Each structure stands twice: as C-alpha cells, then as structure tokens.
Amino acid sequence: MTKLLEKILGKKEAEAAPAPEAKGGEREISIEPVTRIEGHLGVHAKLDIGARRISDAYAYSPMFRGFEIILLGREPSEAAMITQRACGVCPVPHGFSSITACDQVYGVSPPPMGVVLRDFIHGAEQLYDAEVGVLNLEGPDYSEIAVKKFNPAWWTEAQKTKAERSAVHGFATIADIMTALNPLAGELYLRSLLVQKAGHDMAAIFGAKHPHVHSFIPGGIAKINLSMSDIASYLTLLMRHIAFTKELVSATDDLLDFVLAQGYEDVGARPLNLFAVGGYNDPEAYSAVYSEMTDWGRKRMVSPGVILNGNLVTTDLVEINAGVREFVGRGWYSSNWEQEIATDPAGNKIALEHPWNKRTIPEPGEAGKWNSKYTWVTSPRWWHWKGDGANHVVELGPLARMWVTAKAGLVPESTGSSLKFGLPAAVIPGFKYAEKMDFEWKIPKKPNTVERVRARAYYHAYTAYCVSKLVMKALELMKAGKTAVWTPYVKPEEGIGFGAVEAMRGSCLHWCVMKNGVIHNYQYHAPSTWNASGRDPEEHPGPYEEALIHSPITEAGDPAAWKGIDIVRTIRSFDPCLGCAIHVHMGSRVVKHELLPFAVPLELSKN
C-alpha cells in the first residue's frame, strides 16, 4: 500500500526526465496531465527561483472534442442526451442547461413539479461531485504523504496543532486530518467514496440512471407515476449527505485555516472578477420566456451575478447572456464566421463573438508555441456592455457563486458579507455528528487556492440545504395535487434558446439556434472553457494563468528538483475537467476513445 500511495503522489521521479540544474535563477516546467479525473490539461510555467515565484504560465489542452459540429442538423432535444457525454463526472449540468435552452427554442415551460424534479437530479449530482472535488481530487495534495514530501515543516507543525472542530469531525490534530486524506487508505478519502454512492442513487430515482440521465425532455421531465415513496427515498439518501457535510466542512475549515497560517494566502490569488449564473429554481417562477429570465434568475436559491473589480455589476441573466463573448484567442481555431444574429430575443445587442453567432472551426497547430496558438481551449470573456464596454477575464466555480449569492442579497440566507443557513439533526449509523448545525460561509479577503477549496466544501452544505427546501416544496405540490411533470407542446420550425446552471466547477452554458426544425448552430461552455482559457486578443491570460502568475512557491528542497506542488494545488483548486472522452465524427460513424483513470500520479517536470 505504501508503494501505491507513493506512486499516486509522485514520490519516484521519471528516469527519462531527470531534473536539470537551475540556471540563471530561472527554470521552466511543463506539467501534463494535471487533473486526477482525466488527462487533457497541461501547464507550462516559468519559475523565478530567487524570488520563489512563478513568473509566467500557460494553461493548455491537447484535446479537441467537436460536439458542436456533431450536433448540427440534429433535433434540438437530442442535445440534452449528447452533450452529457462530454463528461462522466458532471453530465447533469450539460443536460440541464441544454434542456433549458430547448425549452426556449420550443417555447414550452414545464409545470412546477417538472422544475423541482429536474433540480432534484441536479442537486444530487452537486452533492456527490463536491465530495469528489474536496476529498478525492484536491485533498490528496494536502495529505500526510504529500505534505511530508513537499512541505515537511508543515507536517512537523501539524502534529502539534490541535484541530479546533474535532468535536464534529473527530480528528484530534491537523496531522490526523492530513492522514485521513491519504488516497486509498485515509478515512475521509474512503468514506467520501461511500457517501458519493448516495448521490448517484438520488439522481437515478428521477433520471433513470446516473451518469448520463435519460429523463430531461423539453417541457419537463420523463418521470411517470410519481409517488410519495420516490420523494421519501430521495430524502432518505439526502440525509446521508446532511450528516456527512458537517464533518466535511468542519475538517476542511480546520485544515485550510492551518494551511493559511503557513503563509499560503497569496498562492493562487487573482483579481476579484467572478461570474455565476445560479441554480435551484423557484418552481412557480421558472418559464421558457427569454425576457422572464431576469425575474426567475433572481429567484434562484443560488444567485446569478458578475463581480468586476470587487463590485457586483449585475444579477440579470439576460444581461449576463448578452455579454458573453467567445474569442478564438490562442486556440487552434478559425474565427471566420459571420454575424447571423444581431440582437437577443429581448432586443439587446450581441457581439459577433457571442455563441449564437460563433462557429466551431478547428485549425490544428503545433504544440508548445507559447508566443502563438497553444491550446484547444478558446478564450471566453464577459463584455460589460452596460458599463465600461471592456471584455473581462472572470473566474467561475463554487467561490464565484458563493461570493455572488452572499453579496447580492437576493436570498434570505445572504447577509451581504456571508451566507448563513442551518441543517437539521441526522441520526445515521456511521456518521460522527448527529446534532443540527448552523453554517456561515464568510466572503474571504481574496480569491486564492485555499478559498476555492473551502467554498467547494461549503457549497456541499449549502446544496444539501437548498435541496432539502426543494423536497418540502415537492411535498407541498403533491398535497395540492400539482403532480404534472410535463407540458405538451407543438414544435415550431424556428427558435433560439439559452440555458445556464451552475455545474460543480462553475457556470455551464448552452446556446441553440434552430432553423427548419433542426439545429442550425449549437455552442456550449463547460466551466473549464472559461477557467482554462488562454490569452485573448488583448493578451490577457485566462483565470488559471492569472492565478499562477506571480504566485509564491512554498515547495521545499532543491529548486532544480521542484515538481510543482503549488502549481497543481492551484489548478486543482478550480477542480479542472475538460471532458472524459475524445469523440471523432466520421460521417455516420462515431469513434469513441474513453480515458478514465482512477487516479493520475502527481505530475513530474518535463524539461
């Protein structure tokens, strides 16, 4: 087991790529792959050894998917099934955003119960996915075996540092929490895997299966014979997450408070520019009318909004959509498309680069040309069309949506500087804390590596809270006899739609244009499309790159042997995911190659 842990965490160096001596106070390092989900993300960084800082960085993906090309000419409703195949970890937000866009394309609004059941599926995935991120993908970078190797002084201090919230999570010291994060052996790591199963089972109750649910249809959800027992089964599984999140948040707080105390505040810091579209709808307010997004978007339990330079500039989903621009930037694509649509359905001007106009035209190029094109990721930016008229680099993710929701004041739980909510008692065998518990997520000083991870843990708790409220709403609807889950419709020949919801890693956005009854143009953005973006036409780096440039290096040992632990901690704090499979479209054939490793070793430098 020890040798297996060492392999996962990169204790042995690659014989084919020995680390060279650091010369001139600088060193370049390439790390590929980065994520522990799948291997389609790399980072090339320049290290200033004397200053112990990263002087420059480039995030890139060597993978092209082309789903938008595959969708051309198909029935719009098929997109909800096909785009879910972009990811086996977080497929539901793609299906959810896609079917929301289809609601607008077809002009059909689901009944309230249909809205609730969609959110049940979405919430179930968010619960399991937050645990994956915090404990299985990010947690190992702060585990005993990683800290002993890369920050040995931390381990010495962690052994002496009491865990302040031990009464909830049961670990006496910070070192005990680190040991619990050891992959394949640690208590938190393993227990997370068991609780995640409850999330999959919850989604399957109303989605037929998970991953890749089958029940999203225009106008509602394909769940016949809805019964009280379905909701009761869902609630029973939800209580497992309610019990576990108390341990998850308290242990994460103790660990990350300790990490900050070791001088980690500036690692992964970037400007305060954030973007969120929200989630968990008011079932009585949601509609397929584009102009009504402003109202029902603001009634979501997770608020939409854009923060620029620390200021909340909008909470209007219509305004947010109109400001989206997708530049080719340093991506291997052509920008040779025409502006077919000049305004959105509400009459607002949209740009040539808006996804309703943008086309996916691949132009493969040579890798590693940092002064030219270097990635398959485009450069989405948010155009503040009602304000300064500039294009802004914005960060997506749990930190963004928690920050926006806390600041916007649109929900009762918002104080303007925090989110306050509570979870009920949950007496379940195998869980450590049965009492009810109050939570308060406070807006931090700045976006950084540590606070991204903390926000993800708190978002798990807040999702459990939101979903529990939706359960009560579903019971009210059942009692009132409002059990319809689908609205019949007559499909039009033309239509346009936009769908958006928060995936675990950030906002998931879909756009569809239908002509002659089929898809004329389809574009979608995963959260990592924004976060992993490269330089844009104005040479502004994307969020990953911004977070790395000038970030401190804490790694111990000879600089010539640095492996980049601070780099991967920062990138993984965004929980990157660029897709779990490569698809190549060849006429009527689809060739599929899946890459789903259980764990990816900590990356070794390539020089």
Q: Is residue 601 part of a domain?
A: no
Q: List alpha helices for 25-151, DSSP H.
A: 67-71, 79-82, 92-106, 112-131, 144-150
Q: Is residue 490 part of a domain?
A: yes
Separation of alpha carbons 116 and 230, rounded Å? 13
Whole-number percent of the chain with pLDDT over 70: 91
Q: Is residue 76 part of a domain?
A: yes
pLDDT > 60? residue 203: yes
The answer to whether the beta carbons of residues 27 and 560 sit under 8 Å apart is: yes
Instruction: For residue 355, say if its preceding peptide bond is cis, omega within 30 degrees of 0.
Output: no
Non-local (6+) Cβ contacts of 274 within 8 A are: 305, 306, 307, 394, 395, 396, 399, 400, 403, 404, 447
Q: Which domain holds residue 206?
A: 2-594
> For position 313, what pLDDT does the model report?
98
> For position 578, what pLDDT does the model report?
65
Q: What residues form DSSP beta bridges with 513? A: 496, 521
Residue owning tokens 């309230």: 112
Q: Is residue 602 part of a domain?
A: no
Q: Report the range of poorest mean pLDDT among 69-83, 232-246, 436-450, 587-601.
A: 587-601
In the 8-state DSSP scheme, what is residue 138?
A: I
pLDDT > 80? residue 589: no
> For position 39, what pLDDT does the model report?
65
Whole-number percent of the chain with pLDDT over 90: 87
pLDDT > 50? residue 498: yes
Longest dimension (CA), the chain: 75
Q: Report the range of poorest mean pLDDT among 76-90, 203-217, 279-293, 516-530.
A: 76-90
Q: Is residue 142 part of a domain?
A: yes
Residue owning tokens 């397929």: 288
Number of C-alpha atoms within 13 angstroms, CB side, residue 462?
30
208, with CB counted inside 10 A (0-12, 13-18, 19+), is: middle
Q: Is residue 480 part of a domain?
A: yes
pLDDT > 80? residue 20: no
Cα–chain center distance at 536: 21
Q: Is residue 437 part of a domain?
A: yes
> For position 136, what pLDDT does the model report?
96
CATH of the domain at 453: 1.10.645.10
Q: What is the pTM of this model?
A: 0.92
Tokens of 278: 């929200």
pLDDT > 70? residue 97: yes
> For position 581, what pLDDT does the model report?
29
Mean pLDDT of all residues in the chain? 91
* Residue 127 dihedral angles phi and psi, to the nearest 5°: -65, -50
Ramachandran area for residue 253 (φ above 0: left; ψ -120 to 50: alpha; else beta): alpha
Q: Is residue 324 part of a domain?
A: yes
To the nearest 10 degrees (0 to 180), the angle between helices 228-261 and 449-479 is 160
Separation of alpha carbons 323 and 318, rounded Å? 9
Number of domains composing the chain = 1
Which pLDDT band, with edges at 50, 70 and 90, does 338 fall under?
Answer: very high
Which pLDDT band, with edges at 50, 70 and 90, does 33 fall under?
Answer: confident
